[in-house]
Structure 1
Amino acid sequence: MTTEEIDATSVDDFDPYRATGLWHILATNLNIWKDKLTPTITFSIHDQLSDGRVRLNDLVEYYSKRPCFGYRPTSDEGIDTQLPSKASRFQWRGNGIYKIFANDFGFIFVDNQTASDRPYQWVATICSSTLFSSGGINLMTRTRQPPPHILNDFVRFCRENPILKAKSLNMYYTREKSEDEVYYIRDLQID
């Protein structure tokens, strides 16, 4: 994903405070999640910059397969800095040994049904590639079992957006158990 594509598809109206908390990555096309189980992201407020922009703590947790040990919990941390161009645009930078890595991402699909004083219940992000992963899209929900209309709305949204139509191809549902098959979101029936 290019910076221009991320800018063009990111929403104009976004409140980072409503995005804090635990998110389940329900569907994705990022190659890093194919062999992982139950990936989640937890956003919390890190601080507010003097110009009003927000920095978020970004904790990614999942189970990864380790030879001879099976699936073990793993986590990665970073800081997401809101960019001045749009409230929905951020740059992620890793912590610790990952501090030299960064990538851009944006929120492209946000919950528009929940009251504005309540947390979002679903969002989708688009991100650029890193050394570890291709760029792609994550659909995230507060629960692993969201109402079916959310998935239908998301699929319809991607099909109608000229940039996302091609970029959302080969999205699949993340796995909950090691024996789960990978199911592609394109197989979802739309009402």
Structure 2
Amino acid sequence: MPARIAHISDTHLGSRPSNGVRHNIWAEEMKTQLLENDFYARFAEIFEKIAELDPPVDVVVHSGDLYNSPWEGNPPQPPIHAQITAMKVLQDFIAKTEIPVLIIEGNHGLFKFYEVSLLDSLRLAVPGLKVATQQDLKQAIRQGSPLEFSFENLDVYCFPFIDSAVLRSSNMIDIYDDWITTHQK
């Protein structure tokens, strides 16, 4: 039987206008809140729609940029409301549907200079959630094994974001290319 996959990406929870909020300007602050809240509402809505699909999907794959920050141009962690929204929506969805969710890390939501991912806290807080982070990718490359998740009738091979500067500085471009060639199916 063919597998049914719901694919989403680039939800950028915690997005705010690129110029940020100009202090003491009520209208700018309201626009920021409206935009940010719209991202949260659409995130919850897409999972509600996926839960209603008949027949149901076998897995939900979110491929990159769950959160909007941190990233190179915006280093702080995402707003706490973004993190709480992600956790609650995912907990409720998995508990209600028993459909597994896999989140693959993108270039946003990644603390570039630390060995930690925002997805690590979600992995702990949301039973049944699978995540593939840059750290998981580095470990798979070192071990020469695929970064793979198996579901009932589907295997998913993951390729989270990794900055080419990281590969260059560690002389791993050829090793990474070989790993990709070996493990893509």
Which category of TM-score, normalised to the shorter sequence, fits these structures? Answer: under 0.3
User: Which structure has the greater CA radius of gyration?
Assistant: 2
Q: TM-score, normalised by structure 1?
A: 0.26
Larger strand proportion, structure 1 or 2? 1
Q: TM-score, normalised by structure 2?
A: 0.27
Q: Which protein, 1 or 2, shows the higher relative CO under an 8 Å CA cutoff with sep ≥ 6?
A: 1
Larger helix proportion, structure 1 or 2? 2
